Each structure stands twice: as C-alpha cells, then as structure tokens.
Amino acid sequence: MADYTPDPRFSDLGGAPFYDEVAPARFPQSTLRRRNQRWAERIGLGGLSDAEWLAHFARFDPLADNLPKPLAIRYHGHQFRNYNPDIGDGRGFLFAQVRDGDGRLLDLATKGSGRTPYSRFGDGRLTLKGGVREILATEMLEALGVYTSKTFSVVETGEALERNDEPSPTRSCVLTRLGHSHVRFGAFQRLAFEQDADAIERLVEYCIENFEPDLLRVTGVGRVAAWYRRVVARTARLCAQWMAAGFVHGVLNTDNMNVTGESFDYGPWRFLPTTDFSFTAAYFDQTGLYAYGRQPDAGMWNLSRLGGTLAPLADEAALNEALQSFAPQVETAMVEAFFRRLGVAPSGDHDLKGDFDFVRALLQWMEKSQAPFEQVFFDWFCGSASRDRAGASPAAGLYAGGDFTDLRARLCGFDPVAPDRLSHDYFRGAPCAMLIDEVEAIWSEIAEHDDWRALSAKLSGIDAMREALGFDASHFDLPGA
C-alpha cells in the first residue's frame, strides 16, 4: 500500500477568481455503500476504518495536512453549444489532493455534498441511483482501458429527493470521485468571460506544473501552445477510447471535459448494444449532437472553445495548428484503442492508414450486421488465437457470412498480444456487457428490496474482466510526454 501523501495545490491559486470555500451539508444518515479499497490503497487511505472513512467521506472532516475547507470551483460552459455563465460546482467541491505511488497529483472531489454559491435552484444533492450508475460506469470503463475518474466512495445519506427524471421521492447519496484533474475547459471560459488574462495564465501554469511538468522547459509564449497541444492529444485519446468501449457519454458540454483527458461527470451515459453511430444516451439530445459517432466532433468543438480562451497568451497560428492536429491524432488513437481491445498488435507506423481502414471497416460491418458490440471483442480477443472460440460463439453465424471473410483474414493476420490471457476463466463464459436493461434491473433490486447482491455480482464480473484483459487505464502516457 502506498503512503498517504497530501499535496493541496489548488488552494495556491488564491481563491477568487478560481474557487469559493464552502461547507459540506449535514446528512441525517451515513450508510457506507461503496468503498473503493483498490484505489484507497494506491493513495495511502486503505487503512482507514469504516468509521474513519465516514468521518472523511460523509461528514467531510478534513484529511490530515490537506485542504482545511472544501473548494467549490468556478466555471462556465457551453451546454449543447449554448453558453451558460450561471454554472459552477453546484453540488460538489474539491475536498483534498494527494499524490499516488507514481507521484501523480490526484483530486478527491464530491457530488451531492450540498449547496454552493452555484447551486441556483438545485438542492445540492445526488440521488442514490445516480451514485450506483456512476459506480457501474467508472468500473466498466476502467476495465475496458478507458482513462476515467474513479468512484472512490458512495455513502447513502437518508434524504428523500424529488426529481423530474426519476420516480420520486428517491433515495440520496454523496459520492466522492478520485481523478487526475477537475480543471474543466469551462474554468478557462469563465476567466475569459471576465477578461482576466492574468488568471488564465496562472491556471495554465498550475496545469503545466502539476500535470505536464516536462513542459516547464518550454519558455515564452510557446509554452501555452505546447500545453494546449497536449490537451488536444489527451482529448483525442479519450474520444478514441470511448469509441472502442462502445461508450456514449451523453452530455459532452465544455464544462464536462477536463484538461487531463479523463472521462468524468457521468450523467445519462449508455453503452452500445450494437454499433449505431447515431445512438444517443440522453433523451433530451433530440438533434443527436452527442451521439456515439459524433463524440470526436464534440471533443474538437470543445477544444476550439478552450483554444479561444488562450488567444491572449499564445500565437494564434500555433493554437490553430494544435487544434488541427486533433483529427489525425484521433485516427492514431483509434488504432491504438481498437487494436488494444482486440488484443492484437497494429502494423505500426509503416501502415497506420491500413490499420485505421481496418478499424473503420470493422465498425461498418458491426453496424451492418448488428452483431452485439461487446460480443465481437470478446470472441476475437487475440485474433487468430481465438478462431475456434469465435466459431462456437452465439454470433458465429454472422462471422460465417461472406461479408466478414476479408475482415477475418485481416484480423487473423495481426500478431496476438499476450495470448496467454485467453487462459483466464473469463473467456470460458460470456462477455461482460453493461446494457441499460441490466443497469435498471440492478437499481430495481436496490430501490425495491434494498438488495445489493446484483450490484456486487456485477462488480465481481467486471473485476474478472479487468483481470483477464490486463488493461491498466490509470497510467497512460502520451508519446513524448
């Protein structure tokens, strides 16, 4: 287990215009529902008793040598491309910052911890269903190799909440996330809205010092452009990982994307049952703005808004060049993410175009055939090493079709990566998927019977998949980083 290493850096920015000190809500009940022991051990908190855990993650007593008061971070954002200057941390705050065993700065931040100056008409609370859904999303994405925040803690808080999108009254909780950064694109937008170029520069320097310290060697105006290029690269990688996971975030507003390229702020997310580029997760996304196939477009649009806030600090041509690198970087990241999911080695730099054409052809076949999304990656993991398994799959009839012949030949021509992974018991069963009917069934057992066994069983299944695939989404580095 790593040592607990507190390092509260965000408060060094000095308050306004970056954050407000706030007080946590006081709840009538504190029932521990989720304790992420695996990640607690990585940041030196694995030895906390349950009583100590509740003191810190239900009452929010400060951690030793950490932030003395929670900080509600200020930000604005484009929501479905309409600018909203009336938002910020409205039901959450930054609670603490720590270093993990690799020296990375990590944030512990909340959702549902009470009202703040940015709550507007909200109650500052989170439904228990929202907490359960975030557990499922983050665990599934991490297992599939997506860079994501972690659901560190969920505590049921004993309040009855009224919501328009859930049967009400409904149960309440407070959730604590562990993430690499809670600096959103919208934080820069707020500072630009206030025409505070000095504060923008201070926030950029904070991000470089704590997330991209290798860029400290870059001097002058080139440093800001170099940092922006790094954010572009990280966002490209995240969008590609979502595509390879069949994940639809649902609400890709500028205030829901952060500078470290980490998936977070989960709302109406869904996983694809079958490939559908027009699939949307949010019932209110009536134009399909944030559909599965449009997520890279949303990422680039949001990056352009971030780049606009940096114009006073950097050369415009350099910023534009960085933004234009997004599309080719998405293609490169798509190859990396899809080949990783398939457990085979790409051809390398000498045929990147051919590898991307294969990914595109595979997705087109998956959409046309309506093969179950997760089944395909399960059946063909490690390519040629799984030919017999794929032949015994429920989808074997689809693979026998003539329109799959060329894809099968190309797939089996790639070298398997660590095919010994196929000896794991996970590959003797069925793929672990995360479809909405199962999510609703898990919640129904909790809501109607206070029965948490279905959730526990699902998390055990995800753990088995994580072990079998062997992905570690927590330590990705970019080339040259």
Q: State the pLDDT at residue 1.
A: 81
Q: State the pLDDT at residue 320.
A: 98
Question: Is residue 98 in a domain?
Answer: yes
pLDDT band at 311 (very low <50, low <70, confident <90, very high): very high
Phi then psi for residue 424, to 5 deg, are -65, 145
Cβ contacts of residue 55 below 8 Å, gap of 6+?
A: 61
Give me the percent of the chain exceeding a pLDDT of 70.
Answer: 98
Evaluate if residue 377 carries a pLDDT over 80: yes
Q: Report how far residue 195's alpha carbon sits from residue 375's, in angstroms, rounded to the nearest whole number.
A: 51
Catalytic entry in 89, 100, 107, 255: 255
Q: Are residues 68 and 89 in the same domain?
A: yes
Q: Are residues 206 and 283 in the same domain?
A: yes
pLDDT tens readout for residues 29-40: 999 999 999 999
Evaluate if residue 6 carries a pLDDT over 70: yes
Q: State the pLDDT at residue 165.
A: 85
Q: Are residues 103 and 203 in the same domain?
A: no
Evaluate if residue 481 carries a pLDDT over 70: no
pLDDT tens readout for residues 82-129: 999 999 999 999 999 999 998 999 999 999 999 999 999 999 999 999
Structural domain containing residue 232: 186-334
Evaluate if residue 470 carries a pLDDT over 50: yes
pLDDT tens readout for residues 436-446: 999 999 999 99
Query: Last residue of some domain: 299, 334, 369?
Result: 334
Question: Is residue 278 in a domain?
Answer: yes
Residue 28 in tokens: 């009538």
pLDDT band at 473 (very low <50, low <70, confident <90, very high): low
Evaluate if residue 472 carries a pLDDT over 80: no
Mean pLDDT of the chain: 97
Question: Is residue 257 in a domain?
Answer: yes
Q: State the pLDDT at residue 440.
A: 98
pLDDT band at 475 (very low <50, low <70, confident <90, very high): low
Phi then psi for residue 416, to 5 deg, are -65, 145
Mean pLDDT, to the nearest integer, of 4-18?
96
Mean pLDDT, to the nearest integer, of 257-262?
97
Burial (CB < 10 A; 0-12, 13-18, 19+), residue 345, is: middle
Q: Are residues 30 and 172 in the same domain?
A: yes
Q: Are residues 178 and 201 in the same domain?
A: no
Record the pTM.
0.97
Q: Are residues 78 and 212 in the same domain?
A: no
Evaluate if residue 45 carries a pLDDT over 90: yes
Evaluate if residue 476 carries a pLDDT over 70: no
Question: Is residue 131 in a domain?
Answer: yes
pLDDT band at 406 (very low <50, low <70, confident <90, very high): very high
Q: Are residues 169 and 215 in the same domain?
A: no
pLDDT tens readout for residues 122-174: 999 999 999 999 999 999 999 999 999 999 999 999 999 999 888 999 999 99
Q: Report how far residue 24's alpha carbon sits from residue 92's, in angstroms, rounded to the nearest whole number.
A: 9
Evaluate if residue 55 carries a pLDDT over 70: yes
Evaluate if residue 381 carries a pLDDT over 70: yes
Q: State the pLDDT at residue 166.
A: 86
Q: Are residues 136 and 190 in the same domain?
A: no
Mean pLDDT, to the nearest integer, of 307-330?
98
Q: Report how far residue 130's alpha carbon sits from residue 127's, in angstroms, rounded to the nearest whole number.
A: 5
31-40, 174-183, 272-281, 464-473: the lowest-pLDDT one: 464-473
Q: Report how far residue 206's alpha carbon sits from residue 208's, in angstroms, rounded to the nearest whole number.
A: 6
Q: Are residues 35 and 63 in the same domain?
A: yes
Query: Last residue of some domain: 159, 182, 205?
Result: 182
Query: Last residue of some domain: 182, 208, 239?
Result: 182
Q: State the pLDDT at residue 480.
A: 43
Q: State the pLDDT at residue 477.
A: 59
Cβ atoms 340, 328 nearer than 8 A: no
Beta bridge partners of 74: 88
Q: Are residues 206 and 119 in the same domain?
A: no
Q: State the pLDDT at residue 479.
A: 45
Q: Are residues 305 and 208 in the same domain?
A: yes
pLDDT band at 335 (very low <50, low <70, confident <90, very high): very high
Mean pLDDT, to the nearest integer, of 456-474?
93
Residue type, 227: W
Domain tally for the chain?
A: 2
Cβ atoms 125, 26 nearer than 8 A: no
Residue 355 falls in the annotated catalytic set: no
Q: Are residues 27 and 142 in the same domain?
A: yes
Contacts by residues 355-358 (CB-CB < 8 Å, ≥ 24 positions apart): 356/331, 356/332, 358/407, 358/410, 358/411
Closest Cα to residue 81, out of 297, 392, 321, 342?
Answer: 297
Q: State the pLDDT at residue 350.
A: 73
